[in-house]
């Protein structure tokens, strides 16, 4: 049985909900999926929180897969394939600026996604899901999370796999599986299941 950790973020920019956490929570309500254990982790939109939250979670149990999600742009899902070691001068939910500090003082300028993202993207696109690969994670907390995920993966001696996906904002419109729909909990749950299936079929 595979242990899967699914992460999402708290709301930000005054929004009432964050679609990434809606998706993560909906998936993990099952507890298990196809004999795989699902656990959820909500990460605050605060500089440094991704590293702290992941470190605390991995101290308790190292999963086989970490699927992380963040809220991106309307109309499209994006699989992020590059994380830069930089932070935009944008205030977090605590009102703090990064003040020029990178994601890691000793890490490389960028880390590339280690997952077979292209195959996952193709599998989802074939189902009519609007999705593409992206090389710009936004230089905010999502980019910090992806950078940290790949750093932690490198440090693990096991076979930890990590993937980061941006989902559309909650309540926005998109064309999904051939129909105009609203980004709802049901749609995000459907996407999450399709995403898990595409990931779990990869070697």
Confidence of residue 202 (pLDDT cuts 50, 70, 90): confident
The 10s digit of each residue's pLDDT in 72-89 is 999 999 999 999 999 999
Segment 97-151, tens digit of pLDDT: 999 999 999 999 999 999 999 999 999 999 999 999 999 999 999 999 999 999 9
pLDDT single digits (tens) 21-66: 999 999 999 999 999 999 999 999 999 999 999 999 999 889 999 9
Residue 116 exposed, middle or buried by CB count within 10 Å (0-12, 13-18, 19+)? middle
Read off the pLDDT band of 1 (50, 70, 90): low
Concatenated DSSP letters of 69-96: EEE--TT-EEEE-EEES---S---TTS-
- The angle that helices 185-200 and 19-28 make with each other, rounded to 10 degrees, is 70
Q: What are phi and psi of 145, to 5 degrees?
A: -65, -45
Ordered by start, the domain boundaries in the chain are 3-200
Q: Class of 3-200 per CATH?
A: alpha beta
């Amino acid at each position: 049985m595979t242990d899967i950790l699914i992460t999402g973020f708290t709301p930000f920019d005054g929004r009432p909900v964050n679609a990434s956490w809606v998706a993560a929570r909906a998936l993990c309500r099952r507890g298990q999926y196809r004999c795989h254990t699902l656990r959820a982790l909500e990460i605050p939109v605060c500089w440094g929180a991704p590293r702290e939250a992941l470190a605390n979670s991995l101290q308790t149990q190292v999963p086989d897969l970490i699927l992380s999600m963040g809220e991106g742009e309307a109309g499209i899902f994006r699989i992020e394939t590059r994380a830069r070691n930089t932070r935009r001068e944008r205030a977090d939910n605590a009102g703090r600026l990064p003040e020029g500090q990178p994601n890691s003082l000793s890490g490389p300028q960028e880390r590339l996604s280690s997952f077979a993202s292209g195959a996952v993207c193709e599998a989802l696109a074939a189902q009519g899901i609007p999705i593409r690969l992206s090389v710009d994670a936004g230089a905010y907390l999502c980019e910090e999370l992806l950078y940290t995920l790949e750093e932690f993966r490198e440090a693990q001696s096991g076979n930890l796999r990590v993937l980061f996906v941006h989902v559309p904002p909650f309540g926005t419109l998109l064309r999904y599986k051939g129909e105009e729909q609203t980004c709802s909990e049901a749609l995000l749950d459907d996407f999450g299941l399709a995403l898990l299936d595409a990931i779990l079929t990869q070697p």
